């Protein structure tokens, strides 16, 4: 079985969120199952800066508008593995990210302080999708399954079927059409919608610009393209797979998903315990496991409090959060909830990058509760690990959450998550109550209505148990730490899905 995973980010080379964790870890887990799995992504500046990718002699031209744009393939291995990674080089298009100047993979800091999408993201990722298919031919490595992820690779199945799969020579066309496409939706809120003239620049036939194919509210929609042109679709948890068939969660895609629902399934993400395990994590102040988590976490908590400038934290619960600062992560119920739990003595640390409005809201809390709130704005992987290890509880009040990885990391780090019961959070965290405590299944604290009160109350519930019953608290921590959310299980589900696709 040969699988090519196409994505815009892969951990170790380029990352803005959990997508990169998935595309870095799943291929390694698939390789351990004997699948010849390879990944393909843009050669972002951050990939180049790792010093790992090297140029190959393979190059081709991609038509874009009235130009032909050169593209060279670079290659490397996913760190710590033999999994080949291919990078598509064109520096004008992909080499522009430089975080120190406020330029990211998809967005840049505008003069008014907000983040803006690059105006040519449509062209950039149409180029990427077209180049992915051309790279298959250049590499002469023919996958059984092309596994695309999120809007940035949504047009790849369209180029495969509509351009290459229609080759006049039936033998050539058949070779292309033997490739099956899986489309993974990690987040339906990012749809990749662009004004119709992109159809021409991207060399897509206007015939496809209709309501059943690429058109969505008079825009060219990459996400819809991926859904419609792939053989199978999956999302990253069973609950989210159901939620996106409803209008609120589906964000306009519910109709097309309902139509294709016999092709849609949910597979929850796994954790790469090679990177995220407190007993081996080189980035945390002290390593610990089930046997010594109390001492281990106490030392990590002291180091975290010092790093984030907290005062008077001894004897108080420390709540951690690591998230993109966007609406999805529940930040608009944070302010009022935080007043409730900070008022009861909690300490809180937040690491995040994103919307200035949410940064200001958090800074306002830090001013109102001096010494109680530690903030770090930016992308900082070391601090993310230290927060997982040193916090007593982890906060994920998400408005929606396709899968979520941070709650899985928290479980392993002995940091019970407080989560809203949506998407992957509902599938992976068991609320603490009398029954689940008795059964030994409690792993965190779950609330349902999207409101500051419900969030605050769940945190206060967690704080009360932490303060008044350390024995029970220890049970919650231990059941979380002993769970196995490794990739092996999810990779098995992907393997089965690929096999079904190839068979039929
Ligand atoms: P999402 O993909 O929606 O951002 P996930 O929970 O699936 O949410 O994954 C988020 C990943 O990104 C985690 O690995 C988390 O540690 C990381 N992350 C998010 N924000 C930051 C940040 N500011 N600095 C470092 N890592 C971050
Ligand atoms: C998205 C989702 C997150 C998920 C990640 C990886 O960014 O927001 O819930 O874990 O993709 O699948």
Give yes or no for residue 17 CB within 6 A of ligand 2.
yes
What would the two tokens of residue 462 be?
A: 């967690």
Separation of 21 CA from ligand 1 center, angstroms? 9
The number of the ligand 1 atom at minimal distance from the alpha carbon of 406 is: 6
* Ligand approaching nearest to the C-alpha of 268: 2
Instruction: Report, as an integer, the average pLDDT of 197-225.
Output: 98
Task: Render pLDDT for 474-495 as a digit per residue (tens, 0 to 9).
Answer: 999 999 999 999 999 999 999 9
Q: Does the pLDDT of residue 112 top 90, yes or no? A: no
Mean pLDDT of 88-101: 96
Q: How many Cα neighbours within 13 Å face the side chain of 96?
A: 17
Query: To test ligand 2's pocket by mutation, which of 27, 402, 494 has the most ligand atoms within 8 angstroms of CB?
Result: 402
Return the CATH superfamily for domain 2-91+125-270+488-503: Glycogen Phosphorylase B; (3.40.50.2000)
Ligand 2 neighbourhood includes 264 CB (under 6 angstroms)? no
Nearest CA to ligand 1 atom 16: 384
Closest ligand 2 atom to residue 236 Cα is 12
In angstroms, rounded to a whole number, what is the distance separating the alpha carbons of residues 374 and 10?
Answer: 29
395's CB contacts (< 8 A; 6+ apart) are 319, 320, 321, 348, 417, 418, 459
What are the domain boundaries of the chain? Answer: 2-91+125-270+488-503, 290-484
Ligand 2 proximity of 402 Cβ (cutoff 6 Å) = yes
254 Cα: distance to centroid of ligand 2 (angstroms)? 19
Q: Is the CB of 22 under 6 A from ligand 2?
A: yes
CA-CA distance, 286 to 321, in Å (whole number)?
20
Q: How many residues does the chain have?
A: 504
Q: 337-391 pLDDT, tens per residue?
A: 999 999 999 999 999 998 899 999 999 999 999 999 999 999 999 999 999 999 9
User: What are the pLDDT digits (tens) for 323-338?
Assistant: 999 999 999 999 999 9
Do 290-484 and 2-91+125-270+488-503 fall under one CATH topology? yes
Residues having CB closer than 6 A to ligand 1 are: 17-19, 21, 322-324, 351-353, 379-381, 384, 403-406
Q: What is the DSSP string of 145-167?
A: EEEEETGGGTTHHHIIIIIGGG-
- Cα of 352 from ligand 1 centre, angstroms: 8
pLDDT in tens, 422-451: 999 999 999 999 999 999 999 999 999 999
Element (H, E) at 265: strand 264-266
* Spacing, Cα 458 to ligand 2 middle (Å): 23
Query: Is CATH 1.10.150.20 the right assignment for the domain spanning 290-484?
Result: no
Give the separation between CA 348 and CA 338, rounded to whole angstroms: 9
CA of 294 to the centre of ligand 2 (A): 30
**Does position 113 have pLDDT exceeding 90, yes or no?**
no
Tell me, in angstroms, the distance from the centre of ligand 1 to residue 228's CA: 29
pLDDT exceeds 90 at position 504? no
Per-residue pLDDT, 114: 85
CA max distance for the chain? 74
Distance 21 CA to ligand 2 centre (A): 9
For 38-94, write each residue's pLDDT tens digit.
999 999 999 999 999 999 999 999 999 999 999 999 999 999 999 999 999 999 999
Q: Whose CA is nearest to atom 3 of ligand 2?
A: 404
Average pLDDT, the chain: 97
CA distance 100 to 390: 28
Ligand nearest to the CA of 403: 2
Identify which of 99, 322, 374, 375 to mutate to test ligand 1's pocket (most ligand atoms within 8 A of the CB): 322
| Dist. CA 205 → ligand 1 center (Å) | 37
Tell me the two tokens of residue 250.
């589906």
* Ligand 1 centroid – CA 132 distance (Å): 26
- Nearest bound ligand to CA 410? 1
Ligand nearest to the CA of 269: 2
Residue 150 CA to ligand 2 centre (angstroms):
10
Phi and psi at 52, nearest 5°, equal -90, -45
| 407 C-alpha to ligand 1 centroid (Å) | 11
Residues 491, 80, 278: CA angle, nearest 5 degrees: 75
236 ligand 2 Cβ < 6 A = yes
């Amino acid at each position: 079985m040969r699988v090519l995973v196409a994505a815009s980010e892969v951990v170790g080379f380029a990352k803005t969120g959990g997508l990169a964790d998935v595309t870095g870890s799943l291929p390694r887990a698939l390789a351990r199952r004997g699948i010849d799995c390879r990944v393909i992504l843009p050669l972002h500046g951050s990939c180049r800066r790792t010093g790992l990718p090297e140029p190959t002699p393979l190059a081709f031209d991609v038509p874009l508008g009235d130009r032909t744009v050169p593209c060279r393939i670079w290659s490397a291995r996913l760190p710590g593995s033999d999994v080949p990674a291919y990078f598509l080089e064109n520096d004008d298009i992909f080499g522009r990210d430089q975080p120190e100047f406020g330029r990211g993979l998809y967005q840049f800091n505008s003069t008014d302080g907000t983040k803006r999408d690059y105006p040519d993201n449509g062209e950039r990722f149409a180029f990427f999708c077209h180049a992915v298919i051309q790279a298959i031919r250049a590499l002469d490595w023919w996958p059984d399954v092309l596994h695309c992820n999120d809007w940035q690779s949504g047009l790849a199945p369209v180029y495969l079927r509509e351009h290459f799969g229609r080759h006049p020579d039936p033998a050539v066309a058949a070779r292309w059409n033997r490739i099956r496409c899986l489309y993974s939706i990690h987040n339906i809120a990012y749809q990749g919608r662009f004004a119709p003239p992109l159809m021409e620049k991207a060399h897509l036939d206007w015939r496809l610009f209709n309501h059943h194919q690429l058109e969505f509210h008079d825009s060219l929609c990459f996400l819809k393209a991926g859904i419609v042109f792939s053989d199978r679709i999956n999302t990253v948890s069973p609950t989210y797979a159901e939620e996106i068939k409803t209008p609120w969660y589906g964000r306009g895609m519910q109709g097309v998903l309902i139509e294709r629902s016999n092709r849609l399934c949910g597979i929850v993400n796994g954790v790469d315990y090679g990177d995220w395990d407190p007993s081996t994590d080189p980035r945390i102040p002290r390593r610990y496991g089930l046997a010594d988590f109390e001492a281990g976490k106490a030392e990590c908590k002291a180091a975290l409090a010092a790093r984030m400038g907290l005062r008077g934290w001894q004897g108080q619960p420390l709540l951690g959060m690591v998230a993109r600062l966007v609406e999805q992560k529940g930040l608009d119920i944070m302010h009022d909830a935080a007043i409730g739990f900070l008022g009861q003595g909690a300490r809180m640390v937040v690491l995040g990058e994103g919307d200035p409005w949410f940064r200001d809201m958090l800074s306002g809390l830090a001013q109102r509760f001096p010494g109680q709130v530690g903030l770090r704005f930016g992308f900082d992987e070391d601090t993310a690990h230290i927060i997982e290890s040193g916090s007593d509880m982890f906060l994920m009040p998400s408005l929606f959450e396709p899968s979520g990885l941070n709650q899985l990391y928290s479980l392993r780090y002995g940091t019970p998550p407080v989560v809203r019961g949506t998407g992957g959070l509902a599938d992976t965290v068991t609320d603490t109550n009398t029954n689940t405590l008795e059964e030994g299944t409690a792993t965190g604290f779950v609330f349902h209505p999207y409101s500051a009160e419900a969030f605050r109350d769940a945190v206060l519930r967690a704080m009360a148990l932490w303060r008044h019953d350390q024995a029970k608290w220890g049970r919650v921590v231990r059941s979380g730490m002993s769970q196995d959310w490794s990739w092996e299980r999810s990779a098995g589900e992907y393997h089965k899905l690929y096999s079904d696709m190839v068979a039929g």
